[in-house]
Amino acid sequence: MRAHSTFDLTHPAWVRGLIAFIAAGVALYLAGMIWSGWGQVLSSWQHIGVALICSAAVAASSAYLLRFLRWQYCLVSLGHRVPPLRSFGVYLAGLALTTSPGKIGETVRSLLLLRDGVPAKHSFATFLADRLSDVIGVCVLAVLASAAGGKLSWGIVLAVLTVVGGSLMLRQLLRGAAANGLWAWLEQRLPRLPWRWVRDVLNTWARLWTVPRMLAFALTALFAYGIQAGVFVALCMQVGVPLGLAQGVSFFANATLFGAASMVPGGLGAMEAALVWQLATIGVAHTQAVAIAIATRLVTLWLGIALG
Each residue's pLDDT tens digit in the chain (308 positions)?
Answer: 344 444 444 455 555 655 665 666 566 655 655 554 555 566 666 777 778 888 888 898 899 999 999 999 999 999 999 899 999 988 888 877 666 555 555 667 888 888 888 998 999 999 999 999 999 999 999 999 999 988 888 889 999 999 999 999 999 988 877 777 788 788 778 878 888 888 889 999 999 999 999 999 999 999 999 999 999 999 998 888 888 899 999 999 999 998 888 776 667 778 888 999 999 999 988 888 888 888 888 888 777 777 76
* Total number of residues shown for the chain: 308
Pair 266, 301: CB distance under 8 Å:
yes
User: Which pTM does this prediction carry?
Assistant: 0.84
Euclidean distance between the first and final Cα of the chain, in Å? 26
pLDDT at 7: 43
Domain spans of the chain, in order of start: 43-307
pLDDT at 251: 95
Residue 61: is it exposed, middle or buried by C-beta count within 10 angstroms (0-12/13-18/19+)?
middle
Per-residue pLDDT tens for 141-160? 999 999 998 888 888 999 99
Rg of the Cα atoms in the chain = 21
Cα 159 to Cα 136, 145, 222, 247: the distances in Å are: 9, 15, 15, 20
DSSP symbol at 285: -
Residue 3 and residue 69: Cα distance in Å, rounded? 27
Backbone angles phi, psi at 239, to 5 degrees: -100, 15
